[in-house]
Chains A and B, each alone.
Chain A
Amino acid sequence: MKAKTHPAPARWRTAKKTRPPRGKRSENKEKTRQAILRAALELFASQGFYRTTTKAVSRKAGIAEGTLFNYFKTKEDLALCFFERELDDVIQWYEHDSRIQTAALPEQLFAIIHRFLDRLAPYEEFIGAVYLRTLAPTSKLSPWSLQTKERSLRYLRFIRGILAKAEDAGDIPQVGDFGAHAFGLFHLAMLTYWLQDRSPGKGRTLALLDRCLNLGGHFLKKGGWEW
């Protein structure tokens, strides 16, 4: 019985703490947090993720190095926080945009991936540098690591909800969790393509994204796997 109430490992809980309680003190805290993140992202972009030291980050953010550790235990935690923030943004944006919620499914999914890419665009170099390393199973930043588990689940639930709406409307057959997972992989693939895309304005990514989603939507409409 005791085992069941055992608290989750500490590193699982860190992600939950991203939304601080209200109050001036926590407001300041959040400001410092954002300043650190901003400084870190700038350095990641200019120096590269692995060459950036925590010392340099704290200096750039104008805080003591010790203070930095109160906010982020490691550099990876910084990156995790960044991705967390991006996910938050996309979900919030989606929930507040009534037009996109009623758009056709391919457009909704297009908009979600595009929103991610659009927001990542300023940090393209940094993401390009860490991306391959993060796919290693041992990486803390891997989409399948324990540290990112909660974020992944939140993402999958978000996508699952969108797909479920389309299922209920009869636009697509039942794709269940599998559909969300498949879309997650597609999302990763598109990120890879985007990082490699050297066409003007990343037009090829837009075209590929649009065609894939339209084609996928079309096949699903025809009855899932029985087309």
Chain B
Amino acid sequence: MVNQNGQGGSALGRGYRIGKLGVSLMGSYLGYQAQNLLLGKESQPQRRAHFQQAASRRVRDELGALKGPAMKFGQMLSMQTSFLPEEALQELAELQMRAPAMHATLARAQFKSALGKYPEEMFREFDAEPFAAASLGQVHRAITFKGEKVAVKIQYPAIRSAIENDLTLLRSATLPTRLTGHVSTAVLDEIARGLLEETDYLHEAKNLEYFRAGLGGLPYITVPRVYRELTTERVLTMSYVEGESLSNWLKRNPARDLRNLVGVRLCEAYETQVQRLKVLHADQHPGNYLFQPDGRIGLVDFGCVKRITYDIVELRRCYDQRSWRQSEAAARYFLAMVYGKSVPYRRARKILPLLEQWLDTYRPIGRTADIVIDFGNRSRLNPAAKEIKRQYQRQILQDKLIDPEYVFVVRADMGINHLLSELGATVNVSEIARRVSAMPAPLP
């Protein structure tokens, strides 16, 4: 990650730049993005203008917030390894899951290629201009013959084979680092799985239906309905979810009570996902949430979700009881949760002092009252605690072979917290966690 030579560019850095120049029309997705960075200085603003002119509320937020596997890839690499030069990482971070924009003719052609007919034959109305960018494609508004408003997500053509090519390249490019153990094959497999899953809209449809059923107990949450007959691997038709991005919603200066209500709801939906559905959005970012004036919340974009086996309730119990103090067995148990089983206890336990420091701020021992967090003030009030948390996370991530699921849960946690602090809500998180775990509703 850090250029340890302290020079203008390592061999790897130079290789990276040269490789970037070499990519052209090879059918590479990352290559296309690199090409965009090289050539796109003029056309990028145009494309952006094109999008905005067409579009409404969500476009910019979503473009800004889209974090897909490519982003995840960069993040994971930067977390797990130190083998890429800084500049490469920065560019990787910019190469978010943003497929090239499709003009109306291409979108229409791709629609036919996927469904066998042109959009005007399948919908009463079809908006040729996209209203949002999506993972690997773009979203168009349409109205079905029955008069229902839908959002039609169209994937850029042949993106899957492009990504497959990239993965093959990536595997050979990372061979040395895999041999040294800096990048494990498991990590690559995980990245590959995530990326390829995201290219299959049928998979996303399945996710949508799972979430829709699982969150059905929360009446204020809207998850779009999938129109199976208008959905294939490359086109996903779902009911149109009203609402606007958080930043736009906040511009209306919603009352404090409403903000708190939305905060509670967000928290409750999140707890339901973690504790009961055991599936999470792979990236908890504001672009996945749409807010309505009455405080209802729409959840969109289920391209990349992750199943977790992690027992977050158990983790929190260990936190609160400082279970590792009780016995060595308890400490081993706790650390196995954090690191996975492969990190030796002797190495793992070094993290405990840092963890205790952090917990003393957040979850003080012997506390009987519920945790009520004023997310509006949190970040400003506790820079010290934040710093400790950051150190703690860095420490954990520096040790190789950490349990990826723990990283994932921590990241999701940070994501939702970030959302709540933007909202500036005051939320009794303990009460919500308790309520959700006591919910009797059967799971799908």
Contacts and interface: CB of A to CB of B under 8 A. Distances in A.
B67 interface: no
A204 B113 contact: no
Interface string B382-426: 000000000000000000000000000000000000000000000
B48 to A, nearest CB: 15
Interface string A94-106: 0000011001101
A206 B103 CA distance: 12
Interface in B159-188: 159, 161-162
A100 B104 CA distance: 9
A208 B105 contact: no
Given A103-B105, A114-B105, A211 B161 contact: no
Contacts of B106: 107, 110, 206, 210
A110 B102 CA distance: 11
Contacts of A199: 158, 161
Nearest to A109: B105
A221 B43 CA distance: 10
B105 A203 contact: no
A215 interface: yes
Contact of A206 (B43, B104, B110, B233): B110
Contacts, number: 74
How large, as a class, is the contact surface on chain A? 20 to 34
A203 B113 contact: yes
Interface of B: 24-25, 27, 32, 35, 39, 42-43, 100, 102-106, 109-110, 112-114, 156-159, 161-162, 233-234
B110 A211 contact: no
A58 to B, nearest CB: 34
A99 B104 CA distance: 10
A210 B109 CA distance: 11
25 contacts: A100-B105, A103-B105, A107-B103, A114-B109, A118-B109, A118-B112, A199-B158, A200-B233, A201-B110, A201-B157, A201-B234, A203-B113, A203-B157, A204-B27, A206-B109, A206-B157, A207-B156, A207-B158, A207-B159, A207-B162, A208-B25, A210-B102, A211-B100, A214-B100, A218-B42
Contacts of B233: 200
A211 B32 contact: yes
A200 B112 CA distance: 11
B27 A208 contact: yes
Interface of A: 99-100, 103-104, 106-107, 110-111, 114, 118, 199-204, 206-208, 210-212, 214-215, 218, 221
A100 B109 CA distance: 14
A74 to B, nearest CB: 35
- Main SS of chain A's interface residues? helix
A110 B110 contact: no
A215 B109 contact: no
A218 B104 contact: no
B296 to A, nearest CB: 37
A210 B25 contact: no
B42 A204 contact: no
Given A111-B105, A201-B113, A218 B158 contact: no
Contacts of A106: 103
Nearest to A212: B25
Contact of A204 (B104, B157, B234): B157
A118 B105 CA distance: 12
A208 to B, nearest CB: 7
B232 to A, nearest CB: 9
A203 B104 contact: no
A204 B25 CA distance: 12
A218 B110 contact: no
Given A200-B233, A208-B25, A208-B27, A104 B103 contact: yes
Contacts of B43: 214, 218
A210 B157 contact: yes
Contacts of B158: 199, 203-204, 206-208
Contacts of A207: 27, 156-159, 162
A215 B25 contact: yes
A104 B113 CA distance: 22
A22 B104 CA distance: 38
B138 to A, nearest CB: 13
Given A99-B104, A204-B27, A206-B158, 10 more contacts: A107-B105, A114-B105, A118-B109, A199-B158, A201-B112, A201-B114, A203-B234, A206-B157, A210-B157, A215-B25
Contacts of A210: 100, 102, 106, 157
A204 to B, nearest CB: 4
B42 A221 contact: yes
A120 B157 CA distance: 20
A221 B39 CA distance: 11
B113 A110 contact: no
B411 to A, nearest CB: 32
Nearest to A227: B39
Contacts of B39: 215, 218
Contacts of B162: 207
Contacts of B32: 211
Contacts of A118: 109, 112
A37 to B, nearest CB: 24
A201 to B, nearest CB: 3
